[in-house]
Amino acid sequence: MKRWQLVSVVVTALGVAAGLTWGWYQRGLQPVAETGDEIVVHVATGSGAVGIAEQLQSGGLIRNARAFRIMLGLTGLGARLKAGHYALSPAMTAQEIADRIASGDVATRRVTIPEGLRLEQIADRIAEADVADREDFLEAAVPRTVAEEIEMPLPDDSLEGYLFPETYDFRYDDGPRAIVLRMVREMQRRFFEPNREEVEARGLSLHEIITLASLVEREAKVDDERALIAGVLQHRLDIGMKLQCDATVQYALGKHRQRLLFDDLEVASPYNTYRHKGLPPGPIASPGLPSLMAALRPRKTDALFYVARPDGTHAFSRSYEEHRQAIREIRGGQ
C-alpha cells in the first residue's frame, strides 16, 4: 500500500471514530424521556462532578454519566455546580440539568398561611407542607431567635400574631429559624416600615396595634367592616368598657365553638375580655394587612355593640337595648 493510501485509510478511520464518539457523546446528553414529572434531587455539599453525574444517572435523569462529565469540562460548568435541592426532570437535557445546578436555582416548597390562624395552627400548616417539623418550628417561633435581625419592636415571650399571613416559597434547606425570620420580616416589610410614623403616633404600641388587629381579624368577615369593628373596640377602650370580644374567649378556651355558652364567658384567663378590661396580653391570631390597617386607622363611631348576621356582616348598635333588639331580629326572637 502506498503511503498516501495508508494516510487516507488512517484519516478515514479517525474520522469514523470521531463521528462515532461524537454521536455517542450527543446521545449521552439527550433527555432520558420525552416527558416526565420533576423530582427533587439533593446535591450534597462536596459531591463533586463525578459524584453528581453518577447520582443523576442512577436516578434516571441523565443517560450517561461519563458524557455528562465531559460536557461539564468542556463548558466549564463542573467548577460552578452548587449544593442544594433541585427540581429536575428526565425530559431535560443534560445541559439544562447542569445549567440549573450551576445557577443555584434551588427547589422550593409552597405553603399558604391564611389570615386569622393561631401560632399552633401555622405550625400545623408548616408541618403538613413538609417544610419543617411542627415542634421545631414552635420552638423557633420566639422573639429571641430573630430579634437581632428585625428592626421593629418585638414582644418578650411569643411571636403570636407577628407571622405575616401570606403564600411563601421556602427552600428545602431553610430551617425553622429561617422560616420564622422570613415571616416576621414580611410583617416588618408589609406593615411596620411603610406605616412607621403612623404607628408611632397612634397612641398604642405596635404590640397593642397588632393585638387589636388580631381581634378584628377574628371578628370581621367582610373587609368593609374591619375599620368599623376596630372603631367599636377602640371606643370601648377609650371609655374603659370591657371589650367582651367572643374571639378572645375562643382563644382562651383553646378551641372554636359555633356559639359560646355562658359558662365559657367565665373561663379564667387574661385573654378573657368578658372578665378583664382592656386589650388581652397579646395577639390571638395572625392578622392580615386589611385588619392591621383597620387597627391603625379605626373608624370613628358611636357604636359600642355589634352582632353577626348569617351572611357574615354585622348589625352595629349604640346602646345595649338596641343591641338586644338587633339580636332578636337576627335570631328570629330566640
Q: What is the DSSP letter of 190?
A: I
Query: Which pLDDT does position 253 carry in this prediction?
Result: 85
Structure confidence at residue 267 (pLDDT): 80
156: left (phi over 0), alpha (psi -120 to 50) or beta: alpha
pLDDT of residue 282: 96
Class of domain 32-106: alpha beta
φ and ψ at 112, to 5 degrees? -105, 125
Residue boundaries of the structural domains of the chain: 32-106, 108-194, 205-330
pLDDT averaged over 10-residue windows placed end to end, the chain, 334 residues:
57 59 74 88 90 93 90 90 93 93 92 96 94 95 95 94 97 93 97 97 96 96 95 96 92 74 77 93 97 97 93 92 91 63
Q: What residues have CB less than 8 Å from 176, skipping those under 6 apart?
A: 132, 133, 136, 137, 139, 140, 141
Write down the pLDDT at residue 34: 85
Q: Quote the pLDDT of residue 10.
A: 54
pLDDT of residue 254: 77
Q: Residue 248 has which C-alpha cell?
A: 378572645
Phi-psi region of 130 (alpha: psi -120 to 50; beta: other; left: phi over 0): left
Phi, psi of 271, rounded to the nearest 5 degrees: -85, -5
CB atoms under 10 Å from CB of 296, counted, come to 21
Q: What is the pLDDT of residue 263?
A: 74
pTM: 0.83
pLDDT for 27 equals 85
Predicted local distance difference test score (pLDDT) of residue 236: 96
Q: Which residues contact 64 (CB under 8 A, 6 or more apart)?
A: 24, 27, 28, 29, 57
Predicted confidence at residue 2, as pLDDT, reads 57
